[in-house]
Amino acid sequence: MPRIDFYVLPENGARDNGRVRLACRLADKAYGLGHTVYILAANESQAAALDDLLWTFRQDSFIPHERYPLAGDEGSPVLIGTAPPAGVDAAVLINCTDALPDGFERYARVVEVVEPHPDALAQSRLRFRQYRERGLSPETHRL
């Protein structure tokens, strides 16, 4: 069963694409530790923002990544998509949506990125309960 971690942005972290920036930081860390990552974006606009920011969010890092579905046969260690990937093995799922991701059980770790808005917090509490109902023990980290 996967490890589940909720990362809740601080009030001031929600502006300037806070969710996207945190997802990039977490992907960078996981990639640096040798893990493969799938970032599940809420929509195409967010996926494009993630794709752009992974190139530029830190001057001293390079995170090889691609959009899913893949154009070729070889996959990068970090993939970005708006739907759960079929046939892609990744160790870490970074969820930037407000829904419980389909197939989350396949991952060793699921990271939930939560904005501090009332609606987003309510959705994250629902996902927290859904994970617990499945026998998991999610952890919350307030940044």
Domain layout of the chain by residue ranges: 3-142
In the three-class reduction of DSSP (H, G, I as helix; E, B as strand; rest coil), residue 113 is classed as strand
The fold adopted by the segment(s) 3-142 is Rossmann fold (3.40.50)
For 34: left if phi > 0, alpha if psi spans -120 to 50, otherwise beta; the answer is: left
Half-sphere exposure for 28 (CA within 13 Å, toward CB): 18
Name the strand (E) or helix (H) holding 67.
Answer: strand 65-67
In the three-class reduction of DSSP (H, G, I as helix; E, B as strand; rest coil), residue 109 is classed as strand
pTM of this prediction? 0.93
> Average pLDDT in the 94-111 region?
95
pLDDT of residue 74: 66
The pLDDT tens digits of the residues spanning 7-19 come to 999 887 556 678 8
pLDDT of residue 100: 95
